Amino acid sequence: MTILVTGSDGLVGSALRELISENVYFATRKDADLTNYQETESLFNRIKPEKVIHLAALVGGIGGNLMHSGEYFRDNLQININTLEAARKTNVSKLVSFMSTCVFPNEGPYPLTPETLHLGQPHPSNFGYAYAKRMLEVQSRAYRAQWGLDYVVAIPTNIFGPRDNFNLIEGHVVPALIHKTYLAKKEKTNLTVWGSGKPLREFVFSKDVAKITLWMLNNYSDSEPLILTSGTETSIRDLVECVVREMDFSGEINFDKTKPDGQFRKPSSNEALLERLPNFSFTKLSDGVKETVEWFNGNYPSIRK
């Protein structure tokens, strides 16, 4: 039984590499450009996987989404259409794919649950990505309905961890703040944080997502997407405190209100997850940040930035 992991050199893929090594093929864009159907199908014909963990996506933080909404819509739509179709045509029995809680309607209702996924506009800061990813849920559900395929969807909150994209402009908030704090410390400058610091986010450590993903691959067959969250909200201001503490930064911190806050909050329900995994213990934010900072300091400057 072979498992194919697409997008395996990213955040969750690198966490998965620490959990599984037998009968698994970790594919990256060097193996196939998944926006091209022929290349996608030939990858599937070559590997002949029985199961797929589909992580490949064009992702970014609020900066990346504001700058690339067209590419994020186009490429993610193509990647998902091609991957699920190639999986179907090569008889993949099980496939787990991923959305994110930023694809939900911008104004709730809260807590976010899968039933509300399509009941309103996503936040304008990432509408291209959000609509492309919502179509992944539609495609997965439609393939299940027509062909009886056991294809399921995970919806993590804001994932962070080692081997993230630490790009200062396009990266997500945790890696961007770690990189910014590193530079502020080195250059003895102030740390500039985007926005007011008031927005709230739910953060989930990449290793926790990898563990739950493997559990879903072998145990989850519902058509309803499964939200992966601890249910704990953290303000950006409190996140900054956590990052500067773990990085031992004592310089000045400025909040640049000319930069966007994005969605104010996106609290999601962990009810379905707790029903299935009542004893799962999520990594504490400070412990995850500490491990990510240690990896960052140990691997700079060869990190993705």
Question: What residues line the site for ligand GFB (CB under 6 A)?
Answer: 59, 61-63, 65, 100, 102, 126, 129, 158, 172-173, 176-177, 180, 193-195, 199, 201, 236, 259-263
**Is 260:66 a contact under the CB 8 Å cutoff?**
yes
Of 237, 226, 180, nearest to 204 by C-alpha is 226
129 is catalytic: yes
Residue for token pair 């849920």: 137
The whole-angstrom separation of Cα 157 and Cα 201 is 8
Q: How far is the CB of 159 from ligand GFB (least distance, A)?
A: 7
Nearer to ligand GFB, 83 or 100 (CB): 100
Nearer to ligand GFB, 151 or 203 (CB): 203
Residue for token pair 């080195």: 186
Handedness of CA 172, 175, 178, 183 (dihedral sign): negative
Q: How far is the CB of 225 from ligand GFB (least distance, A)?
A: 14
**Is 166:51 a contact under the CB 8 Å cutoff?**
no
Nearer to ligand GFB, 159 or 216 (CB): 159
Q: How far is the CB of 47 from ligand GFB (least distance, A)?
A: 28
Nearer to ligand GFB, 61 or 114 (CB): 61
Helices 173-187 and 285-299: angle between axes, nearest 10 degrees: 50
Residue among 25, 72, 129, 131 flagged as catalytic: 129
Distance (Å) of CA 292 to CA 9, 178, 253 = 16, 9, 21
Q: How far is the CB of 59 from ligand GFB (least distance, A)?
A: 6
Nearer to ligand GFB, 4 or 273 (CB): 273
CB atoms within 10 A of CB 91: 11
Q: Which DSSP category does 119 fall into?
A: S
Q: How far is the CB of 156 from ligand GFB (least distance, A)?
A: 8
The whole-angstrom separation of Cα 145 and Cα 184 is 53
Tokens of 199: 């927005």
Tokens of 17: 């590499």
List the catalytic residues: 129
